[in-house]
């Protein structure tokens, strides 16, 4: 186990380095620079000055300068499109927002999804079962921006219960959280339902009940713990979805998070910002996957995560 | 997928009633898809004819009319520029389906090729390809699509001489190029177990060249998972396109797709004073129904081919 963790920890920076190179290549071969574009041609002297300011007179200078700066100072350099801001400033301001939103969404998805899944399994074929299937179907067949729009229309425009966007208060967290949670929630509910149905048929559940444990004890402590495994494996993909889904949800609700900055970075060809956001996303995802793998071993000691696939 | 898993076999046939429900799903999903496909493609003579009311780039004075049964072209109302929403939805369907199908085809092609190679060759080839897979997994999916699109777009513009063609091709390339890892993993797992079987060994001993072992001996045994994953990749690709359209980096106007129609309609439809609901409802319904039908077909196929993996979940 210790070796496994050590190996994964050694692999992490290597994978990140490759991702840096890939992103750099993709962002750099993209035509158009942040220094003027086809509509607004900068005078040659001004462009040269800008390029010198950003250490980008040539591809090689750029590639030589920024990775070194990142390694030595942990610094992504100045943003090319947000005047006067460094990429680190932007990340520092937006990362907590995106993390809060993402964690909140996954929390909703887990709590509601597991609860609904267990209930649906307990009364198979009942109203709640049908309802959860319906929600799951909507969840997978509607793009998240439509879900977000519908939530806005109902809870903000019609009922005036919640604000329509922005960031800062708890109330502003609720709608985007649910918009982002719909898809993972749907999957988790269905996963839990199937797993619970499988588990509840086991002999040990009957035994536990027969020896006098209460119904809720059997359901939550005996059956659910086993049924939770497939849900736990889904947490990795769910986290990935919460990150990419945030591009859309943050745009709809006008939340100044990481996703918006990435999209803006792409639109403005802001190479340093693109590199910064991609690296942060990749690092978060890699660490999360590692945590999920380790947690998996903790929940179910029988599983050998160190085994090669 | 581990090397220990048995190969898909017809032997463990599912119970009769389960079979029936699978067939039902396949039939309903497939029927809906066929219907949509025929309608979208069959209407091309009108949606591409600039003199028709259904023309996708039609410019008329009747903008933002609510749906009315007065004429066929206003059944779904009209858009902001006076285009017939029915025509937009039909032509948008052609493009959405085209992108979904071609991106899935590319990702299947890549996934199968890479999976075969990695599983059969093993060693450093396997290690290299699987690490590439890991890296692609580590990057958020849509991030790569956007980066690919950014890198390729203008270059292809010059190559094809037309913005529209380049736009379509880049999107299909970008989505196809990043969605192959799941497919490659599945195929690799299958090949790992297949290659130890006597018939592959026999073929190798008989001096059958590697390429022929791939196409004649391994591929036929992999048709099941390939078909299943292909069907499940199509809705993914369509959804990715709608995301990109929403962010303003997908298919560019005037070409419509269901995703871009929905995202364009969103603000006008949610306007509380004069809601133009038809701008959102029709493309969304079509998109949703298509995704649902594709998922139905994919899951139905998965249960039919691989009864051990029960996908009753959706």
Query: Residue B133: pLDDT band by 50, 70, 90 thresholds?
Result: confident
- The answer for residues whose C-beta is within 8 angstroms of residue A86's C-beta and 6 or more apart is A75, A76, A77, A78, A79
Does the pLDDT at position B247 exceed 50?
yes
The Cβ-side half-sphere exposure at B140, using a 13 Å CA radius, reads 27
Mean pLDDT for B23-42 is 82
Residue pair A50/A270 in contact (Cβ under 8 Å)? The answer is: no
A158 touches chain B (CB under 8 A): yes
Does position B13 have pLDDT exceeding 60, yes or no? Answer: no
Strand, coil or helix: what is A165? coil
Q: A289–B138: do the CB atoms touch at under 8 Å?
A: yes
Query: Which residue is it, tokens 């909507």?
Result: A138
pLDDT at B14 over 60: no
Joined together, the tokens standing for residue B127 give 């290690």
**Under an 8 A CB cutoff, do A251 and B138 touch?**
no
Contact B150 A146 (CB under 8 A): no
SS3 content of chain A, % helix, strand, coil (to 5): 75, 0, 25
Q: Comparing A2-16, A91-105, B54-68, B247-261, which segment has the lowest mean pLDDT? A: B54-68
In which band, very low, low, confident or very high, does the pLDDT at B109 lie, cut at 50, 70 and 90? very high
B163 φ/ψ angles, rounded to the nearest 5 degrees = -60, -40
Query: What is the pLDDT averaged over residues B32-41?
Result: 85
* Chain B residue with Cα closest to A120: B313
Give the pLDDT confidence of B196-216 residue by residue, as tens digits.
888 888 988 998 888 888 888
Phi-psi domain of B248 (left: phi exceeds 0; alpha: psi -120 through 50; beta: other) = left
Q: What is the DSSP letter of B72?
A: G
| Residues 255-294 in A contacting B (C-alpha not used; CB under 8 Å) | 262-263, 266-267, 269, 274, 278, 281-282, 285-286, 289
- The whole-angstrom separation of Cα A239 and Cα A244 is 9
pLDDT of residue B222: 84
pLDDT of residue B15: 47
Question: Within a 10 A sphere around the Cβ of B211, how many other Cβ atoms?
Answer: 8
Q: Which among B139, B263, B270 is the nearest to A157, CB-wise?
A: B270
Structure tokens at A127: 């109203």
Tell me, what's the pLDDT at A107? Answer: 92
Residue B308 has pLDDT above 60, yes or no: no
Kindly report, residue by residue over A205-259, the tens digit of the pLDDT.
Answer: 888 888 888 888 888 888 888 888 878 878 877 887 787 778 888 888 888 888 8
Alpha-carbon distance B229 to nearest alpha carbon in chain A (angstroms): 16
Chain A neighbors of B153, CB-CB under 8 A: 30-31
pLDDT of amino acid B274: 73
**Tokens at B179, concatenated:** 């969605």
Q: How far is CA A30 from the centre of its chain?
A: 26
Residue A111 has a pLDDT of 92
CB contact under 8 A, A153 and B1: no
CB B173 within 8 A of CB B223: no
Burial A109-136 (b: 16+ CB within 10 A, else e): bbebbbebbbbbbbeeeeebbeebbebb
Inter-chain CB proximity A141 and B291 less than 8 Å: yes
Q: How far is Cα A99 from Cα A94, in angstroms, rounded to an integer? A: 9
CB contact under 8 A, A281 and B289: no
pLDDT tens per residue across all 309 residues of chain A: 677 778 778 888 888 888 888 888 777 776 666 665 555 666 777 777 777 777 777 767 777 777 777 777 777 777 777 777 888 888 888 888 888 888 899 999 999 988 888 888 888 777 877 887 777 777 777 888 888 888 887 787 777 787 777 777 777 788 888 888 888 888 888 888 888 888 887 888 888 888 888 888 888 888 888 888 878 878 877 887 787 778 888 888 888 888 888 888 887 778 888 888 888 888 888 888 788 778 777 777 766 655 544
pLDDT digits (tens, 9 = 90+) for B275-307: 777 888 888 888 888 888 888 887 777 777 654
**pLDDT, position A272:** 83
Encoded tokens for B24: 């039902």
Residues of chain A positioned with their CB less than 8 A from the CB of B239: 143
A19 vs B: CB within 8 A: yes
Burial (CB count within 10 angstroms: exposed 0-12, middle 13-18, buried 19+), residue B57:
middle
Q: Give yes or no for a contact between A273 and A279, defined as CB atoms under 8 angstroms apart.
A: no
Give dist(CA B122, CA A134) in Å, integer: 44
* Residue of A30, A59, A130, A141 to mutate, testing the B interface (most B Cβ within 10 Å of its Cβ): A141
């Amino acid at each position: 186990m210790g070796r496994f963790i050590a190996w994964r920890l050694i692999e992490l920076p290597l994978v990140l380095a490759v991702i840096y190179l890939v992103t750099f290549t993709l962002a750099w071969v993209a035509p158009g620079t942040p220094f003027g574009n086809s509509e607004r041609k900068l005078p040659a002297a001004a462009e040269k000055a800008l390029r010198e300011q950003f250490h980008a007179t040539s591809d090689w200078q750029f590639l030589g300068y920024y990775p070194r700066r990142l390694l030595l100072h942990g610094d992504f350099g100045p943003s090319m499109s947000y005047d006067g801001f460094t990429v680190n400033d932007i990340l520092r301001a937006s990362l907590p927002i995106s993390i809060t939103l993402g964690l909140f969404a996954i929390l909703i998805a887990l709590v509601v999804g597991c609860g609904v899944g267990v209930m649906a399994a307990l009364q198979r074929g009942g109203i709640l079962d049908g309802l959860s299937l319906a929600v799951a179907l909507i969840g997978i067949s509607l793009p998240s921006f439509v879900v977000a729009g519908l939530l806005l229309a109902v809870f903000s425009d019609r009922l005036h219960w919640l604000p329509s966007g922005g960031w800062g208060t708890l109330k502003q967290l609720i709608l985007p959280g649910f918009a982002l949670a719909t898809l993972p929630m749907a999957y988790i509910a269905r996963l839990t339902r199937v797993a619970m149905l499988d588990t509840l048929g086991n002999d040990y559940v009957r035994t536990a009940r027969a020896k006098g444990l209460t119904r809720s004890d059997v359901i939550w402590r005996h059956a659910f713990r086993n049924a939770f495994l497939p849900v736990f494996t889904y947490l990795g993909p769910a986290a990935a979805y919460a990150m990419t889904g945030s591009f859309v949800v943050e745009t709809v609700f006008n939340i100044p998070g990481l996703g918006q900055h990435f999209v803006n970075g792409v639109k403005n060809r802001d190479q340093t910002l693109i590199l910064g956001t991609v690296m942060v996303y990749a690092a978060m995802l890699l660490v999360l996957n590692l945590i999920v793998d380790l947690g998996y071993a903790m929940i179910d000691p029988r599983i050998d995560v160190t085994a090669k696939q | 997928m581990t090397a220990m898993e048995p190969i898909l076999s017809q032997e463990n046939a599912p119970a009769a009633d389960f079979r029936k429900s699978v067939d039902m799903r396949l039939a309903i999903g497939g029927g809906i898809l066929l219907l949509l496909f025929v309608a979208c493609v069959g209407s091309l003579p009108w949606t591409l004819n600039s003199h028709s009311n259904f023309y996708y780039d039609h410019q008329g004075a009747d903008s933002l009319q609510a749906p009315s049964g007065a004429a066929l072209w206003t059944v779904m109302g009209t858009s902001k520029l006076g285009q017939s929403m029915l025509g937009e939805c039909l032509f948008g369907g052609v493009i959405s389906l085209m992108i979904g199908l071609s991106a899935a085809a590319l990702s299947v092609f890549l996934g199968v090729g890479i999976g075969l190679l990695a599983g059969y060759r093993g060693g450093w080839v396997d290690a290299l390809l699987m690490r590439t897979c890991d890296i692609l997994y580590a990057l958020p999916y849509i991030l790569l699509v956007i980066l690919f699109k950014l890198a390729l777009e203008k270059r292809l513009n010059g190559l094809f001489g037309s913005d529209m063609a380049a736009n379509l091709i880049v999107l299909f390339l970008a989505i196809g190029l990043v969605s192959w890892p799941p497919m490659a993993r599945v195929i690799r797992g299958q090949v790992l177990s297949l290659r130890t079987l006597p018939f592959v060994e026999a073929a190798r001993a008989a001096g059958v060249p590697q390429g022929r072992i791939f196409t004649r001996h391994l591929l036929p045994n992999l048709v099941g998972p390939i078909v299943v994953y292909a069907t499940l990749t199509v809705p993914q690709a369509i959804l990715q396109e709608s995301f990109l359209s929403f962010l303003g980096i997908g298919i560019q106007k005037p070409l419509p797709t269901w995703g871009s129609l929905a995202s364009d309609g969103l603000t006008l439809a949610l306007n509380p004073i004069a809601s133009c609901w038809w701008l959102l409802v029709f493309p969304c319904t079509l998109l949703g129904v298509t995704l649902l039908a594709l998922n139905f077909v994919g899951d139905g196929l998965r249960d039919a081919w691989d009864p051990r993996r029960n996908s009753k979940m959706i």
